[in-house]
């Protein structure tokens, strides 16, 4: 299974036909770019960092009374085989509400063909497989909605004082207008993160690390955080979100800066920081430089 997964991440298929038409200068089509940088540093001096970038092509099919009909596809070029079944996807986006998949049957057909070709993958659906890293195996069309939601810039109308929240936040917080050097409107908000969820996510990541190394997960957590008998870690975090909206109210860019502090035994503590950027760019030039970046980003497990 390990070698099959490596093969599927390194073997590419041509992008589907709907992506092959020229997208240059098409006003209904945009390139959505996601970038993330992470760094961590402990009180003992250990540190680490990483960065990745991925992209998706968004095309406006039309407006409906209940929302926008959109199509999402991979940037032109080859796509890792394990990802290729997910797109193209057509959705109904109700800004600020939810995303509904419109071509579920078509995506299911691609997924079934992929699983028929690689039956070993089916046995691990919904689980995690470990190679050079931990990879979740998704075999559900609902996952496609999750993928698209990660690139979603349609947040609905924004205004000063409006309550705003994101997954992982302890409670909503009001938007504040920030100074802008462009005609665009800038909103900022600081969210306090849920410590219970932070601890749960940390424990899940350590369980995956333990599976790779063969160690006991609890022993790995206690060792990493210098916890003695009966000691419990303390998790806290904040996220500063900056939203940039054009004159017509459409969000063009979202920036997030998340800081998480983990306190372990004694004086030990670790600070983790993550900077994210999600932005829309018109496809008015060749996007070939994005193709390999997409593949590289998904090799890192986004």
Express each pLDDT in 281-301 by its tens digit: 988 644 444 444 544 444 444
**Domain count along the chain:** 1
Alpha carbon distance 46, 50 (integer Å): 14
How much of the chain exceeds pLDDT 70, in percent?
A: 83
Of the candidates 80, 102, 92, 64, the residue with the CA atom closest to the CA atom of residue 4: 80
User: Are the C-beta atoms of residues 99 and 149 closer than 8 Å to each other?
Assistant: yes
Express each pLDDT in 172-222 by its tens digit: 999 999 998 889 999 999 999 999 999 999 999 898 888 778 889 999 999
How much of the chain exceeds pLDDT 90, in percent?
A: 63
Per-residue model confidence (pLDDT) at position 82 = 84
**What residues make up the domain containing 137?**
2-299
pTM across the whole model: 0.82
The pairing of beta strand 89-94 with beta strand 78-80:
unpaired
CATH number of domain containing 220? 2.30.230
Is 27's pLDDT higher than 90? no
């Amino acid at each position: 299974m390990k070698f099959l997964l490596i093969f599927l991440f390194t073997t590419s298929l041509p992008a589907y036909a709907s992506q092959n038409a020229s997208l240059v200068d098409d006003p209904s089509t945009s390139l959505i770019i996601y970038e993330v940088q992470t760094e961590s540093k402990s009180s003992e001096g250990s540190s680490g960092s990483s960065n990745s970038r991925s992209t998706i092509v968004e095309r406006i099919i039309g407006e409906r009374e209940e929302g926008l009909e959109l199509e999402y596809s991979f940037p032109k070029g080859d796509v890792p085989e394990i990802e290729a079944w997910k797109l193209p996807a057509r959705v109904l986006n109700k800004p600020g509400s939810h995303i509904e998949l419109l071509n579920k049957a078509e995506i299911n057909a691609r997924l079934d063909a992929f699983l028929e070709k690689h039956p070993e993958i089916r046995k691990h659906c919904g689980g995690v497989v470990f190679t050079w890293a931990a990879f979740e195996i998704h075999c559900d069309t609902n996952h496609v909605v999750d993928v698209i939601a990660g690139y979603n810039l349609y947040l609905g109308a924004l205004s000063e004082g409006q309550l705003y929240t994101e997954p992982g936040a302890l409670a909503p917080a009001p938007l504040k207008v920030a100074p802008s050097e462009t005609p665009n409107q800038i909103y900022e908000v600081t969210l306090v993160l849920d410590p219970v969820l932070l601890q749960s996510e940390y424990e899940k990541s350590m369980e995956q690390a333990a599976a790779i190394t063969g160690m006991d997960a609890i022993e790995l957590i206690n060792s990493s955080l210098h916890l003695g008998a009966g000691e419990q870690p303390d998790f806290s975090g904040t996220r500063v979100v900056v939203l940039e909206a054009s004159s017509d109210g459409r969000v063009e860019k979202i920036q997030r800066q998340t800081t998480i502090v983990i306190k372990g035994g004694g004086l030990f503590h670790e600070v983790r920081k993550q900077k994210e950027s999600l932005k829309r760019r018109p496809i008015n030039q060749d996007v070939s430089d994005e193709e390999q970046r997409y593949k590289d980003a998904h090799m890192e497990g986004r």
